[in-house]
Structure 1
């Protein structure tokens, strides 16, 4: 039963019934509806921002995010495998390839360095999963840089390999006179007695005693720099520039088989034994120069003689006797 409300009329000393105007009722109803609408809207917004209430769109986005997390996890596992393979290649590069070609290894600090300066990942920050995305992006960039460094290193190794073949061909590596044509190794590298003054002096090469006209062969690939008799004491002589700091000299020739500017290969016939210049008897005076310094030719006979022959030549060459020039 609806309650009836009264008020006290002090003038007439009586209680009178309160009558609510229709307009007021309408206003109250409108106010109630407005308040209900505002409260409902506010409650709906609060529910939307709680984990206990998801719209179909939210569920779809949530599934997409979960799928992205799975894909990033798979990507990181693949990068772990790439890291392992790349580390193996880098180890071989440093400890085998670069060691073989006498080249300094690339330090890990250079291979695995990040990117300094401006923050490259600023646009990826500020999201729920920013850390995952940023870390993965950094790994991709570091691996890409490692691959670029390794690719450049392998290009360098390939170039060194090609140069190595040229270097090995250029190094003086055989005797300039064949063993079967030798009378003897008359004198070796070092201090020897001069045949004319009988004074002990430095002998800058090796003397191979043989008959006049015995063939002389280039001991390494190179270009004939000189084929003349203008250098004092050497008579008719040949100088071959091999590159990589190597030069060889062949002195006291009877005649030439090459001229200046000719390119020769190891084993090519370049001249013939004689006794021109400051020479006591027919022989070949042979010198090896490395970076402008004379070195012992005995250390460069490994291309056409056996170990036993080398031991015998070394024994004779190391005796301090009299040279032939």
Structure 2
């Protein structure tokens, strides 16, 4: 198709003349065309780079590395599953066999399984294509590491208890604080009982042994005298013995002491004498056993100096809901 030729009318010559385009205009058109072509080419290049149509050897290598990484993480998570299973078995034996054998409190599950609070430990792993996989695996490894540290510390404690087994057995309050032949009866046991003064039903935290004033009171396990005074309201003259391993015993309403604070005593040593000091209705010994800061039933510890038949009799009397003497 022939290029159109444009004309203009020259009034001086009264004739039509051809319009000749300026060189600068031609150059402008050429520049605009080249710029448009370059921009279009760049956009096409970008689209190709982000599509599967153009895959470089480097891209293929990275894709293989990513798939290999996913496979390795999958294998690692299976191994973590196996470690968790073995660790759970060790934790169960630790709580229900080792710690039970040495009469030590089990480690609570919430303490073993506790996570990591506060700052985000995995912030630097966020924002990637496989961040969730990497973060979840990292969390599992960290939790197992913490559980292993807790378990290792627990086994160290059990090992120490095993080495000190004889000391532990001697420290446990395992006998009655008043001999059977020297007491009148077990007046009241551990649990809810009627208060002798208010007649209101309330928690009685120990056992009451009735006996004559001046009847010897014996330390029920090896330990150190923590207190020998009347500082506790209602207890009158009383003695507290710290036995170690979480055990503490209390002997109340005494007529007098035979030990003083800081003195070491052995199981069976006379530490004081029955009385009726403090909030007491009649001469008797009020006896308490504490384990890890909590009061427990003393009846569970009389296996050192009474027979099974005697234990059954005491148990039957102690479990009756009668009136306490303090």
Does residue 195 in structure 1 map to residue 186 in structure 2? no
**SS of structure 2 residue aligned to 1:168:** helix
Q: Show CA shifts across 1:290-313 (max 9, x none).
A: 011100000000000000000000
Residues in 2 aligned to 1:293 and 1:301: alpha-carbon distance in whole angstroms: 18
Q: Structure 1's 260 and 310: CA in aligned 2 closer, same or farther, altered over 3 A?
A: same
Q: Show CA shifts across 1:39-80 (max 9, x none).
A: xxxxxxxxxxxxxxxxxxxxxxxxxxxxxxxxxxxxxxxxxx
Does residue 228 in structure 1 map to residue 229 in structure 2? yes
Q: Partner residue of 1:176?
A: 177
**SS of structure 2 residue aligned to 1:312:** helix
Retained in 1: the 8 A contact 2:256–2:273? yes
Q: Partner residue of 1:308?
A: 309
C-alpha displacement of 1:156: 8.6
TM-score for the superposition, normalised by structure 2: 0.53
Q: Structure 1's 179 and 159: CA in aligned 2 closer, same or farther, altered over 3 A?
A: same
Residues in 2 aligned to 1:240 and 1:200: alpha-carbon distance in whole angstroms: 29
Number of residue equivalences: 185
Q: Structure 1's 156 and 247: CA in aligned 2 closer, same or farther, altered over 3 A?
A: closer
Q: Partner residue of 1:261?
A: 262
C-alpha displacement of 1:161: 2.9
Q: Structure 1's 247 and 97: CA in aligned 2 closer, same or farther, altered over 3 A?
A: closer
TM-score for the superposition, normalised by structure 1: 0.53
Q: Partner residue of 1:293?
A: 294
Residues in 2 aligned to 1:244 and 1:157: alpha-carbon distance in whole angstroms: 12
Q: Partner residue of 2:278?
A: 277
Residues in 1 aligned to 2:156 and 2:236: alpha-carbon distance in whole angstroms: 47
Residues in 1 aligned to 2:157 and 2:249: alpha-carbon distance in whole angstroms: 29
Q: Partner residue of 2:165?
A: 164
Tell me the C-alpha RMSD between the 2 structures: 2.7
Does residue 249 in structure 1 map to residue 250 in structure 2? yes
Q: Partner residue of 1:218?
A: 219
Q: Show CA shifts across 1:143-167 (max 9, x none).
A: xxxxxxxxxxx99987443311111
Q: Partner residue of 1:3?
A: none
Residues in 1 aligned to 2:158 and 2:189: alpha-carbon distance in whole angstroms: 38
Misfit runs of 4+, over 6 Å = 101-104, 154-158
**SS of structure 1 residue aligned to 2:255:** strand
Indicate the structure (1 or 2) with the bigger Cα radius of gyration: 1
Residues in 2 aligned to 1:210 and 1:176: alpha-carbon distance in whole angstroms: 11
Retained in 1: the 8 A contact 2:161–2:168? no
